[in-house]
Amino acid sequence: MSIDQWREDLATAALVGTARRPVPESPPVLPRPTQGAPPETALLDAVAVAAALRRAGTAPRHGEEAATPAPDDEHAPPPDRARQLLDLLLTQPPVGARLAPYSLLVWLRTARATGRRAHHQALVPLLERASTTALLRPAVVPVLDHRGTWLAAQNPAWAWAAAGGDPAERADDGDWELLPTLDRAVRLRRVRARDPEGGRALLGSTWRQDAAVVRSELLACLEVGLSPADEPLLERALDDRAQGVRETAYRLLDRLPESRRARRLGDVLAPLLSTSGLVRRTIHVELPTRPTKEAVRDGLTAAPRGRSERGFWLQRLAAGAPFETWTRATGLDAATIVGTLGDADALAGLQGSAVGRRDATWARALLDRVWDPGLARCLPAEEVAERMLARIERVKDVPELVSALRLAPGPWPERTSARIVTRLARLDRHPHHLPDLVATLAEGLHPATAGAVQRLAATGAGPTDPFHQLAQHLSLVPTITEAFA
């Protein structure tokens, strides 16, 4: 019997009584009840063991040596009021299950900002919650302190939180080829973050014997720390027999405008560009004709089902060629080119290229025509916020509003938050659209808008209305921050 099943059977016995349901036998690794003890005593003893396991976060295993004790924590525990709030958010969140993670984020970030850690009794619930809610993980790790990271190392399910607890991190070079693909990808990305050259060498060490799907998965990891130094390996990947590997290489090389492939694609694209008009210049783009063998190698391959082949080639050219190809061939700047360009495939290629290269000039020009959070991330936060406010005044429904708000992740200033709520009040709020909207607002709205949000909830479904729960969350934010004062 598993530990989890044993706990469930214990709860059943406690619920219906030992006269109707016998006390379940403990798994072999756990202490057994005292022989001859009354059933009710055996049940209480078993519950005490289960509670200890719950607090420990793991179960004992035969043949294992006792773990080295955790080092002393460096940070102070939270004040009593903050401790009570964390326990409440983990067990009975007053904001509902959907918004509970956002209230927890406020607590976790405030604790970190004030130099506090989570109290020990909350470590297991926190680790369990963050294991199933990835949104919380980056905020949980800083408040674990030494006891928490030690505890996380005892349970494989919490390896994400343990220092050195990830199998991909613990493995030495000799174990690289034995790791599962997912673990290898995790490790490679982390190595690339601190040592791009070492990560590239690690990838190349097993390139020949790796399966195509593995090569593609690992090659994609080069996006971390991508630089011109990776070009030789990516050029090699252009000749790979597997289409998935080649497609990954195309995407990465699109981000390197100084690469040999970019220059080759630019040479193909330039003759296709022309302009007309003296006062108001307009750009024209011809569709490419049958590509050369070299162009096929660079990505001008057969189009996916349902796509125009020549349109697909044009998108590939626009995505991979240097931006200078457009300005030199036309004599126009980015804003004019994008503003007069009528070909949807060319625009899609430029959009992908601007996002991949994080080019603010082209992203700014494209955002005037295409609403894309990826483009917005290329611009300064202040400019994005202004664009978001201009956008929300033009939206016609809640899905459009959610798309606009995601352009500039919160938290938003009080004035911005007030304008958002005012605009929301004038929109038709269909129930099917509210969950996504409320989750977005929970992370971004300023707490000062709690009253206005509560007024939006007044015509809703009562305590279960999403806006009522959002108002509770916003009201809870200052309570959390004040609890750490």
Mean pLDDT by 10 residues, the chain (485 residues): 77 85 78 72 83 67 64 94 96 90 96 96 93 91 92 83 50 67 86 92 91 94 95 95 95 96 96 85 88 94 92 96 95 92 93 95 91 87 86 88 84 91 88 85 94 85 78 95 94
CB under 8 Å to 339, separation ≥6 — which residues?
Answer: 365, 368, 369
269, 312: one domain: yes
Same domain, yes or no: 147 and 118? yes
Q: Which domain holds residue 118?
A: 80-156
Q: Give one word for 399, left, alpha or beta, with left for phi > 0 and alpha for psi -120 to 50.
A: alpha
Q: What is the pLDDT of residue 171?
A: 41
**Does residue 427 sit within a domain?**
yes
Q: Residue 196: its pLDDT value, please?
A: 93
**391 in the same domain as 346:** no
Predicted pLDDT at 435:
83
Split into its structural domains, the chain has a count of 5
pLDDT value of residue 168: 43
Using alpha carbons, list the distances in angstroms from residue 139 to 97, 103, 298, 479. 18, 12, 42, 19
Q: What is the pLDDT of residue 18?
A: 83
Judge if 327 and 413 occupy the same domain: no
> Rounded CA gap, 348 and 412, in Å?
30
Would 177 be classed as within a structural domain?
A: yes
Do residues 372 and 385 both lie within one domain? Answer: no
pLDDT for the residue numbered 231: 96
pLDDT for res 170: 42
pLDDT at 52: 75
Helix (H) or strand (E) holding 275: strand 273-276
In a domain, 110, yes or no: yes
* Domain match, 312 and 354 both: yes
Q: Is residue 320 part of a domain?
A: yes
Which residues lie across from 282 on neighbouring strands? Answer: 276
- Strands 273-276, 282-285: parallel, antiparallel or unpaired by DSSP? antiparallel
Predicted local confidence at residue 222, as pLDDT? 95
Dihedral angle sign, alpha carbons of residues 145, 150, 151, 153: positive
- Residue that finishes a domain, picked among 351, 376, 401: 376
- Please indicate, yes or no, if residue 467 is contained in any of the structural domains: yes
180 and 141 assigned to the same domain: no
Residue 164 lies in a domain: no
Let me know whether 386 and 358 are in one domain.
no
Last residue of a domain, one of 97, 122, 156: 156
Statement to judge: residues 242 and 267 lie in one domain: no
Other CB atoms within 10 Å distance of the CB of residue 320: 31
Task: Give residue 48's pLDDT.
Answer: 84
- Report if residue 70 sits inside a domain: no
Same domain? 35 vs 94: no
At residue 347, the pLDDT reads 95
Whether residue 75 lies inside any domain: the answer is no
47 in Cβ contact with 10 (< 8 Å): yes
Residue 368 shares a structural domain with residue 277: yes
Among 221, 253, 285, which residue terminates a domain?
253
Do residue 369 and residue 280 come from a single domain?
Answer: yes
Positive or negative torsion for Cα 366, 371, 373, 374: negative
